[in-house]
Amino acid sequence: MDAQFKPALVEKAIYDFWEKNGYFTAKVDKQKQAFCIILPLPNANGSLHLGHAMFVHEDLMIRYHKIIGDETLWQLGLDHAGFETQYVYEKYLRKQGKSRFDFDRETLYQNIWQFVTDNKGNIKNQMRRLGFALDWSKEKFTLDPDIVQIVYQTFTKLHDAGLLYRANRLVNYCTRDGTSFSDLEVVDQEKEGTLYFIKYPLAGGGFITVATTRPETMFGDVAVMVNPKDKRYAKLVGQKVQLPLTKRIIPIIADPYVDQKFGTGAVKVTPAHDFNDFEIGKKHSLAFICVIGFDGRMQNTGIVDGLKVLPAREQTLKLLQEKGLVEKSAPHKMVAKTCYRCGNILELLPLEQWYVRVRPLVDKAKELVDKGEIKVYPKRFVRRLDMILDNFIDWNISRQVVWGIRIPAWQCAGCHEWIITAGEKPAKCSKCGSTNLQQDSDTFDTWFSSAQWPFATLRASHNEEFYDYFYPTSVMETGHDILRAWVARMIMIDYFITGKVPFKNVFLHGMVRDAKGQKMSKSKGNVIDPLIMVDKYGADALRAALIFGTKEGGDVVLSEQKIIGMRNFANKIWNIGRFIDMHISVIPSAAEGSLNAHLKTKLRDSSAPTLTVQNDSEKTLKQLNKEFKDIKKKYTRYMKGYRFSSAFDLVYHYLWHRYADYYIEQLKESLRNGNIKALEVLEQVYFETLAMLHPFIPFVTEAVWQQFHGVNSSILNYEKDMATEKR
Domain boundary at 303, 319, 347, which?
347
- Residue 520 maps to a domain: yes
Considering the domain architecture, whether residues 592 and 688 belong to the same structural domain is answered as yes
CA-CA distance, 547 to 553, in Å (whole number)?
11
- Residue 723 maps to a domain: yes
Q: Mind listing the pLDDT tens digit for each residue in 23-50?
A: 999 999 999 999 999 999 999 888 888 8
pLDDT of residue 522: 60
pLDDT of residue 462: 81
CATH code of the domain containing 73 = 3.40.50.620
- Residue 177 maps to a domain: no
Mean pLDDT computed over 38-63: 92
**Pairing between strand 207-212 and 186-201?**
antiparallel
Q: Mind listing the pLDDT tens digit for each residue in 661-698?
A: 999 999 999 998 889 999 999 999 999 999 999 999 99
- Residue 564 maps to a domain: yes
Grade residue 239 by pLDDT with cuts at 50, 70 and 90: very high
pLDDT of residue 432: 94
pLDDT of residue 3: 84
Domain boundary at 423, 441, 459, which?
441
Return the closest-CA partner of residue 245 out of 350, 349, 325.
325
Number of domains in the chain: 4
Alpha helices in 98-144 (DSSP H): 105-119, 121-129
Q: Which residue has the higher pLDDT, 630 or 184?
A: 630
Q: Is the pLDDT of residue 606 over 50?
A: no
Domain of residue 474: give its range: 32-163+364-399+443-511
CA-CA distance, 23 to 714, in Å (whole number)?
9
Q: Is the pLDDT of residue 484 over 80?
A: yes
Q: Is the pLDDT of residue 608 over 90?
A: no
CA distance between the termini of the chain: 36
Domain boundary at 418, 441, 464, which?
441
Q: Is the pLDDT of residue 165 over 70?
A: yes
Considering the domain architecture, whether residues 68 and 115 belong to the same structural domain is answered as yes
Considering the domain architecture, whether residues 277 and 288 belong to the same structural domain is answered as yes
CATH code of the domain containing 711 = 1.10.730.10
Q: Is the pLDDT of residue 408 over 80?
A: yes
pLDDT of residue 631: 97
Give the dihedral sign, CA 205/208/212/217: negative
Q: Mind listing the pLDDT tens digit for each residue in 531-540?
A: 999 999 999 9
How many other C-beta atoms are found inside a 10 Å radius of the C-beta of residue 387? 11
Q: What is the DSSP letter of 401?
A: -
**Pairing between strand 240-242 and 266-269?**
unpaired
Q: How far is CA 128 from CA 13, 71, 501, 530, 571, in A?
A: 11, 21, 30, 13, 22
- Residue 358 maps to a domain: no
- Residue 168 maps to a domain: no
Considering the domain architecture, whether residues 262 and 241 belong to the same structural domain is answered as yes
- Residue 359 maps to a domain: no
| Range from 40-44, 163-167, 440-444, 583-587 carrying the lowest mean pLDDT | 583-587
DSSP output for 466-522: HHHHH-SEEEEEEEGGGIIIIIHHHHHHHHHHHSS-SEEEEEEE--EE-TTSPBP-T
| Range from 398-407, 469-478, 577-586 carrying the lowest mean pLDDT | 577-586
Mean pLDDT computed over 151-178: 95
Considering the domain architecture, whether residues 595 and 489 belong to the same structural domain is answered as no
Asked if 5 and 571 touch (Cβ cutoff 8 Å), the reply is yes
E strand segments, 213-321: 223-226, 240-242, 249-254, 266-269
CA-CA distance, 399 to 441, in Å (whole number)?
9
Considering the domain architecture, whether residues 469 and 539 belong to the same structural domain is answered as no
Q: What is the mean pLDDT of the chain?
A: 91
Considering the domain architecture, whether residues 48 and 21 belong to the same structural domain is answered as no
The number of helices, as runs of H, and strands, as runs of E, in the chain is 25, 24
Considering the domain architecture, whether residues 263 and 321 belong to the same structural domain is answered as yes
Considering the domain architecture, whether residues 309 and 454 belong to the same structural domain is answered as no
Q: Is the pLDDT of residue 340 over 60?
A: yes
Return the closest-CA partner of residue 446 out of 502, 408, 397, 402.
397
Contacts 24+ apart (CB under 8 A), 64-69: 64/639, 64/695, 65/35, 66/23, 66/133, 66/716, 67/691, 67/694, 67/695, 67/715, 67/716, 67/718, 67/719, 67/722, 68/719, 68/722, 68/723, 68/726, 69/32, 69/719, 69/723, 69/726
Q: What is the DSSP letter of 716?
A: G
Considering the domain architecture, whether residues 143 and 266 belong to the same structural domain is answered as no
Considering the domain architecture, whether residues 217 and 287 belong to the same structural domain is answered as yes
Considering the domain architecture, whether residues 205 and 313 belong to the same structural domain is answered as yes
pLDDT of residue 516: 82
- Residue 627 maps to a domain: yes
